[in-house]
Structure 1
């Protein structure tokens, strides 16, 4: 089984997709970026003929992945196509640091992110068995089509080798969850998910970088280029804890990280998730002014400090889970 990146994360498949499958995925990716699309717009964006687009839409309709509606324009009704929200439900487990402990929150939602159920574990994460028991309990009665788990860590060679949760270190978490529940699982790094969730999708060149500063752990970075998450040759893109920045002054540490990232990648959008640090408005203004002075030629980027990490994190997990599910429906 090989792995290849699609839509910002690694997808598993037994074979490379055929030309038709690749075209189906192109259409699905475009439908995910917009609420609705006409066949004509899909034809223009993909470079495929209207006849080919209509055939692809028929395939997706037969798989119950899309629905259609109508848009009134200049007195004429144009047929439009959208993803089916009810094509399946996703089970999202969000692991997030709070005061040095890892809390687990479960969300059951449809493909478009409508949340039907939200439950938080009664205790912080304490062991693999505790996590698996919570996942099994939440997914027992109403089984999602896929389980997506956001973790403060990185899965390499099928093992969670870098993690803020010591009890999960070295565990094949994907296999453990799938075995325990009988439901396909996907593990996603928390900062990758938040950056992907915050990314402003664009047809033009677009770079979004998110840097997250937990209160009791080291910072992490997510990089999205042209709507695709960057993982790197070893899957370690964004592990800036291995870098050379070191300071006892938190504002200076933030300044150094931001200066390095902005000067190297020149992003369109730079998000600093600093809510856990409780910095004052004066400290934040000092960071902004210092960056402006150090990087006077970098003027076409936005530096944002007020994004909500948990919200972007959840949005990203849903989007990644949806893409994985749609890919599986087309290719596997």
Structure 2
């Protein structure tokens, strides 16, 4: 099979662009050394990207006092991604919308309450974001439930169940669409700053619904065959989470300790992130007291307590969306 020169040219261009992104600012010479491409190839690619606006001309500088070199700067504002997170917080149904640049930095955000979450709720937030940032190229959503092939299978919001979510927003906005479970998105965001060969479990306790978990192994979110990995409310361990009194440290503490112990025996995570607004010192002490055996104590993970998962969700969604954009997938998302 012959080499497709057009594909090679595009591949080289993407290599140079995203290497410059990681450096933020660089020269032709340095990029040629980093990518293994010729000086002339890198120079031509950068010229094309300057013309398209994806790269900006920087200063003419000399590191050694000799002939100055042209510096090039990655334009992180050339395109943007939109992250939308649907949550129920303190009994209120909320959607948080955040726009990120190609460095993953937040440049705009908004939040609004709704009587109930439905497709029109997201459209209102998307329209507002696109009006402010028409350069948005990817839509990423976090939902409390399970999605399969773009269709919402289970969800805390009844109006979304059975909806062809991906198709609806692709057809309306003609942009790639990413859907992620809320806890999967959160643990993905937390994992951004953790070594990629770790096993990480995130567990969210929303009070109004049963808890959910997200699992990362070697840097990848474990979703399972049908997307139900982490739906721990299905676990037959004799705990009624909906009737649980979260204000009783011993009751909730021992239940959580038991849950963590199960993950220890199946996943053996290095980190467990617990998301909830009830983690007093008494609850934390009870969780540690509830470890059933000394042997299990030796494999018990590091526990991180987070009052809320909003920050990690947005971090995870924007990171995933930027990765999709970097892959060169700028048309319909399949």
What TM-score do you get using the length of structure 1 for normalisation?
A: 0.74
Aligned twin of 2:245 = none
Q: CA deviation at 1:139?
A: 2.1
Q: Which residue of 2 is the match for residue 50 of structure 1?
A: 36
1:54–1:212 CA distance, 2 compared to 1 (3 A): farther
User: Which secondary structure does the structure 2 equivalent of 1:162 belong to?
Assistant: strand
Q: CA deviation at 1:316?
A: 0.6
Structure 2 residue aligned with 1:283:
283
1:196 alignment partner, one of 188, 201, 214: 188
Question: What is the rounded CA distance, in whole Å, between the counterparts of 2:62 and 2:109 in structure 1?
Answer: 37
Q: Pick closer, same or farther for the CA change 1:33–1:133 going to 2, 3 Å.
A: same
Are 1:186 and 2:155 an aligned pair? Answer: no
Asked if the contact 1:201–1:227 (Cα under 8 Å) also holds between the matched residues in 2, the reply is no
Measured after TM superposition, the shift of residue 149 of structure 1 is 1.3
The Cα shift of 1:100 comes to: 3.5
* Greater CA drift, 140-149 or 31-40: 31-40
Structure 1 gaps of 5+ residues are 1-17
Which deviations, in whole Å up to 9, do the C-alpha atoms of 1:308-331 show, x marking residues without a partner? 411111111110111111113489
Contact 1:191 1:211 in 2 (8 A): yes
What SS class does the counterpart of residue 288 from structure 1 fall into? helix
Deviations 1:44-86 (A, max 9, x none): 9xxx983489968976885576779999999999999986422
Whole-Å separation in 1 of the counterparts to 2:175 and 2:126 = 11
Give the whole-Å Cα distance in 1 for the aligned partners of 2:288 and 2:119: 41
**Conserved 8 A contact 1:94-1:105:** yes
User: After superposition, where does 1:1-332 map in structure 2 within 5 Å?
Assistant: 50-51=36-37, 62=48, 84-143=75-134, 144-200=136-192, 205-248=197-240, 249-275=251-277, 278-291=278-291, 293=293, 295-298=296-299, 301-306=301-306, 308-329=308-329
Deviating more after overlay: 30-39 vs 116-125: 30-39
Q: Deviations over 1:84-139 (max 9, x none)?
A: 42231112211112134420111122122332322222434343233323323432
Structure 2 gaps of 5+ residues are 1-6, 241-250
Q: CA deviation at 1:34?
A: 8.2
Give 1:214 deviation, angstroms: 0.8
Measured in 2, the distance between the counterparts of 1:80 and 1:330 equals: 27
Residue 5 of structure 1 aligns with which residue?
Answer: none
Offset, 1:212: 0.9
Rate the CA distance shift 1:177–1:61 in 2: closer, same or farther, 3 A. farther
CA distance in structure 1 between the aligned counterparts of 2:43 and 2:231, rounded to whole angstroms: 40
Closer, same or farther in 2 for the Cα pair 1:256/1:203, shift >3 Å? closer
Distance 1:215 1:133, change over 3 A: same
TM-score w.r.t. structure 2 length? 0.74
Indicate conservation of the 8 Å contact 2:196/2:218, yes or no: yes
Distance 1:72 1:254 in 2: 59
Answer yes or no: is the 8 Å Cα contact 1:201–1:226 preserved in 2.
no
109-118 vs 62-71, which moves further: 62-71
Tell me if the contact between 1:39 and 1:50 (Cα under 8 Å) persists in the aligned partners. Answer: no
CA distance in 2, matches of 1:34, 1:292: 49
Instruction: Give the conservation status (yes or no) of the 8 Å contact 1:245–1:253.
Output: no
Task: Verify the 8 A CA contact 2:62 2:69 in the aligned structure 1.
Answer: yes
Farther off after superposition, 161-170 or 73-82: 73-82
